[in-house]
Amino acid sequence: MAVLLGACVAARGEDASAGHFVRVSPRDARYLETDDGRAYVPIGLNLVYPPFVKGGGGNGTDAVRLAALDEWLGKLAANGGNYIRVWLSNGFYEVEHERAGQYDPERAGQIDAMLAIARKHGVRVKMTVEHFREIDPVNPRQAWATKALHHTSRGGLAASMEQWLDSPAARKQFVGKLEFLAGRYRDNPTVYGWELWNEMNAIRGKGDYLSWTKAMLPELHRLFPRHLAMQSLGSFDTSGVRAPYRVMATLPGNDVAQVHRYLDLGAKLEVCHGPVDVLAADSVRELLAANPGRPVILAESGAVEPSHAGPFKLYPKDKQGILLHDVLFAPFFAGAAGAGQCWHWDQYVHANDLWWQFGRFAAAVKGVDPAAEAFEPLMVEHDAVRVYVLKGKRTILAWCRDKGSDWKSELADGKEPAKLTALKVAFGGHAKGFDAAKVRVYDPWADRWTDGKLVAGEVALPEFARSIVVRIER
């Protein structure tokens, strides 16, 4: 059924650039483009597995779940979305589910169908190969992160994660899995790229994940020469992961420097407790400070109960998507290659019907070619708003975020955001040479553009709440 569904959706309309692969831009290695030279700003979210559908037999048949995925991707694409991340190690897609080293072509049909749906909607897919953290079947700490078929007691090649990572035989077997996937997908441009592992520094034991990554990134490049290759680490919520993040951000063969960070009141880093725009922008700056010479992406974000105990308890109150808004906007305006990518796609984004928020970010950056602009990210001082600025060759983009309104004031305290009036943003010398520029101001909450003026380096803002975008083009 999955294969048939894939064949059906593949025959429908496709995005104009669907036949082109995503690459690091040769014009500016901090940004992405397709191999025909078009700018590609990833706008999307983590969507690890297809929606669960109530009724009709519990969580629904495979075809029903794929149909629900089609609906969700339709909503994402209708709002300018062009990216999702999936875990191929999730049960719905996992081809290695009965015995280590054996790969199920029928299960791969689920992947085929998912990619066909994505292609139909012009959405690229980051393919995460693995996510398990332990292989011991006896009293695992996290059942969802255990893959016991690799354990010797289940016919696998190792008695521990450390042995699995270091064993030449186990490494060869993993490459065999990559070869199986390459045989089906190496020439598929819908694939945005390949991520070896989800948060690999979270594995149990003393296995050398860095050595393993150094061995496997070249294999990704060999087997998927036209796709991006990546690795990911766990949430940047303690100073102890600063050094590993810098190593990974500059590791040869790791095409995109990715970071994960959440609003987490149990995190050791104080920045993770505050406004989401601040913690998101700070995570991007942390990686940019390592001078990685490649795109930086906030690849997982959102809000959690202390120490990742579950989805944020205030999610149900966030009907306007203020958390998602900050996750989307702040990273890009701090110098990332794309919008931030939210977790909790089902319990937050879909539950609150927040797909429209992606459209507001897409509208703000529509037509912008970051690589051509060679943007310089900076901040402009202001008493009332945090002004995140991208200064380019022909364009200045500024996202102004109200300092007095955030998740604490709105969701925890129940206060309405204030209406900000009679504000001016002084760009000063940053606006030199833009005197005759066209100025437009975008209110993403009202989805409304208005004309503005640059007078003596200043732009007067119309009345707004929470945030507003200034776009200056010469």
The total number of residues written for the chain in this structure = 474
Return d(Cα 386, Cα 214) in angstroms, integer: 39
DSSP letters of 381-413? Answer: --SSEEEEEEE-SSEEEEEEEETT-SHIIIIIS
User: Which residues partner with 260 through β-bridges?
Assistant: 300
The answer to whether 209 touches 166, Cβ cutoff 8 Å, is no
Residue where the block lists tokens 């951000």: 249
DSSP string, 206-250: S--HHHHHHHHHHHHHHH-TTSEEE---S---SGGGHHHHHHHHT
Rounded CA gap, 262 and 343, in Å?
9
**Dihedral (CA of 220, 224, 230, 231) sign:** negative
Contact 365, 397 (CB under 8 A): yes
| Helix (H), strand (E) counts: the chain | 12, 20
How crowded is residue 460: how many other Cβ atoms within 10 Å of its Cβ? Answer: 14
Report residues of the chain scoring pLDDT below 50. Answer: 1-14, 56
**What is the per-residue pLDDT for 1?**
34
Q: Find out whether 414 and 387 touch, Cβ atoms under 8 Å.
A: no
CATH of 378-473, picked from 3.20.20.10, 3.30.2350.10, 2.60.40.1180, 1.10.1370.30, is 2.60.40.1180
Give me the pLDDT at residue 239, please: 98
Residue 281: half-sphere exposure toward Cβ, Cα within 13 Å = 21
Q: Residue 53: its pLDDT value, please?
A: 87
Q: Identify the bridge partners of residue 127 per DSSP, sorted by sequence position.
A: 86, 194
Q: Which residues, at least 6 apart from 384, have a Cβ–Cβ distance to it below 8 Å? A: 402, 403, 404, 420, 423
Decide if 243 contacts 267 (C-beta within 8 A). no
Quick one: pLDDT at residue 300? 98
CA 341 to chain centre: 3
DSSP 8-state code for residue 125: E
Q: DSSP 3-state assignment of 317?
A: helix
The pLDDT assigned to 55 comes to 61
What span, in angstroms and rounded, lies between the C-alpha atoms of 81 and 73? Answer: 8
Cβ atoms of residues 324 and 338 within 8 Å: no
For the chain, what are the domain ranges?
2-372, 378-473
Give the pLDDT confidence score for residue 15 in this predicted structure.
Answer: 55
Q: Which two tokens stand for residue 127?
A: 């393919």
Q: How many CB atoms lie within 10 A of CB 282?
A: 19
SS3 (DSSP) at 114: helix
CATH number for the segment(s) 2-372? 3.20.20.80
Contact 388, 333 (CB under 8 A): yes
Segment holding 451, helix H or strand E:
strand 448-452
* CA 73/CA 274 separation, integer angstroms: 31
